[in-house]
Structure 1
């Protein structure tokens, strides 16, 4: 039986730490965390979040371990809608990162104001 994206997202999102953009901006700064933008390059070019590190979702697992080897680092994941952020956060937890947050709302303006 095929499952809808909404069903999958409800399942994936349930155990995750989710956060609004405004909360993430404050926590990222106070915890010396990193904001990861998992959108594709073309999407990011249209509305870049200047304070974010760009690692497209398709290569996230391969790049994170070498770029950020500290499993306790506060990591905040951003995308356009929150869906890829949740999928990315799930994978980072599987890799062993302990402090991962998925931003589940549009936040470009918030991070632009705080960069």
Structure 2
């Protein structure tokens, strides 16, 4: 039986913290966290978010272990629509990362806020 994506997102087993771009940027300036862009490289090439580390969702689990040895490091996840970011946040939480947030805004908003 296939589960539609909306149901999948609604039934994520964790309480995922969602933040605005302004909130994420303000926190990142204070906590030395990392903004992770889980879009595919082709998408990032067209509309980059300069302050983020691009790790496509499909390889996030492998790369997270390489980049983030400390499971308490603040991680802020974003994508184009929020769907991949929420799925990525869920997976990171399953892996043991305890300080994960999803940035809920467009990629253009993140760049605008970051430039301030």
Compute the RMSD of aligned alpha carbons.
1.6
Q: Which stretches in structure 2 are left out of the alignment for 5+ residues?
A: none
Match of 2:86 in 1: 86
SS at match of 1:36: strand
Match of 1:41 in 2: 41
Q: Which stretches in structure 1 are left out of the alignment for 5+ residues?
A: none
After the TM superposition, which residues 19-98 of structure 1 pair with which residues of structure 2 at under 5 Å, given as runs? 19-98=19-98
Output the TM-score relative to the length of structure 1: 0.91
Of the structure 1 ranges 10-19 and 23-32, higher mean CA displacement relative to structure 2 is found in: 10-19
Give 1:109 shift. 3.1
User: In structure 1, how many angstroms separate the alpha carbons of the residues matched to 2:82 and 2:70?
Assistant: 24
Give 1:24 shift. 1.0
